[in-house]
Amino acid sequence: MKYYIIAGEASGDLHGSNLMKALYQEDSNADIRFWGGDLMESVGGTLVKHYKELAFMGFAEVIMNLKTILNNIKICKTDIEKFNPDVIIFIDYPGFNMRIAKWAKEKGIKTHYYISPQIWAWKESRIKAIKRDFDKLYVILPFEKDFYEKKHHFPVEFVGHPLIDAIHNRNYTNSSVFRKENNLDEKPIIAILPGSRKQEISKMLELMLSVVDDFQEYQFVIAGAPSQEFSFYEPFLNGKNIKFISNKTYDLLSNSHAALVTSGTATLETALFKVPEVVCYKANWASYQIAKRIITLKYISLVNLIMDEEVVTELIQENCNPKRIKAELNKVLESKTRTAILKKYDELEQKLGGIGASSKTAKLITKGVL
């Protein structure tokens, strides 16, 4: 069968690559064409556009690049028509993917959405378009099944979280080799995960690094995003002895003792690596005021949302300051607090359904299309 996959971000590239591996196992004749990144390209198929050409964040940036975005939509539609796939698999990236899905559905092409948009957090009105434009929806968070089926009467498949597959299937560098290759000493590592986009890195990194001098017995290591060069991070270092490692976040987390993490998927990744963390989030005043009125969730981290309790501390807006970051980081370094967090992390992993999300999804997709 012919599969057309659209992933517009680094996380989509990761999950798309594992899904592609599973599709090739389920369908030996699979012909895959995709929008994604290096990880998907390494599996096989044909790359149409790299996600680095698609990443626009925030209202202003979208407006400034509107011509490019609209041209990408046109290119995508034309390429799909030429390829004539049996199914299009959309991976997250709702702003772009939902536009293509509406068009594809009208053309009679089967539409499957893997990793649905977080409409339970905001833009719940998108449920109308989802019900109209998608044949199948595969959700990765346990509470999403009830959200769609009980609240909106739309049947979905809960397949488990693909991060568990990504972490379980990865080959990791030996700890001593990792430290040697990256010029790290034997001190325990505190990982700094400031996000992947320039806007959030600029907002969070200086705050996170403000506590470095208070923890001399640890070494701080910044997880550089694959989409950003070291030159962007360098001005934030201010000559301090802080290590920087690019595009090796999983190796870093597998060797870390604690972490400071900007809210997002990274909070869940850190938890699955069993690393006690402090979640940090700060936006400009206007953006925060708008978000606070639109998003009515109790928590901002996926860890706490899934567990429906405060497993990890969230420092938001005015609470995200050097004094609080220092105090909360001290707490997660204490034995008693660490033990409690790690116990909750084990419960979290059980809730997420264990390994096999990619395989389950591939089976359901092939079954639904054949």
Of 55, 35, 15, 93, the residue nearest 199 (C-alpha): 55
Q: Using alpha carbons, select from 47, 48, 108 the residue that is nearest to residue 73.
A: 48
* Torsion of Cα atoms, 287 then 11 then 346 then 327, to 10°: -40
Residue 171 has what pLDDT?
82
Do 173-351 and 2-161+353-369 have the same topology in CATH?
yes
User: What letter would DSSP give residue 352?
Assistant: T
**Residues, the chain, total?**
370
Identify the CATH homologous superfamily for domain 173-351. Glycogen Phosphorylase B; (3.40.50.2000)
User: In the chain, where are the structural domains located?
Assistant: 2-161+353-369, 173-351
The kind and range of the H/E element at 32 are strand 31-36
pLDDT of residue 196: 82
d(CA 36, CA 10): 8
Q: How high is the pLDDT of residue 332?
A: 97
Give Rg (Cα) of the chain: 21
Q: Which residues pair with 191 in a beta bridge?
A: 221, 259
Among 54, 81, 75, residue whose Cα is nearest residue 65? 54
Q: pTM of the full predicted structure?
A: 0.84
User: Cα(150)–Cα(153) distance, rounded to whole angstroms?
Assistant: 6
Please name the helix (run of DSSP H) or strand (run of DSSP E) that holds residue 256, with its range, or none. strand 256-262
In Å, how far are 234, 258, 297, 323, 345 from 269, measured between CA atoms? 25, 13, 20, 26, 11
Along the 370 residues of the chain, how does pLDDT read in single tens digits?
999 999 988 889 999 999 999 999 999 999 999 999 999 999 999 999 999 877 655 545 555 666 677 888 999 999 999 999 999 999 999 989 999 999 999 999 999 999 988 899 888 999 999 999 999 999 999 999 999 999 999 999 999 999 998 898 888 889 999 999 999 999 999 999 999 888 889 889 999 999 999 999 999 999 998 778 899 999 998 877 899 999 899 999 999 999 999 988 899 999 999 999 999 998 765 555 555 555 567 898 999 999 999 999 999 989 999 999 999 999 999 999 999 999 999 999 999 988 899 999 999 999 977 6
Has domain 2-161+353-369 been given CATH number 3.40.50.2000?
yes
Query: Which CA distances in Å does 301 have to 134, 176, 200, 308, 309?
Result: 28, 31, 15, 10, 11
Alpha-carbon distance 232 to 220, whole Å?
18
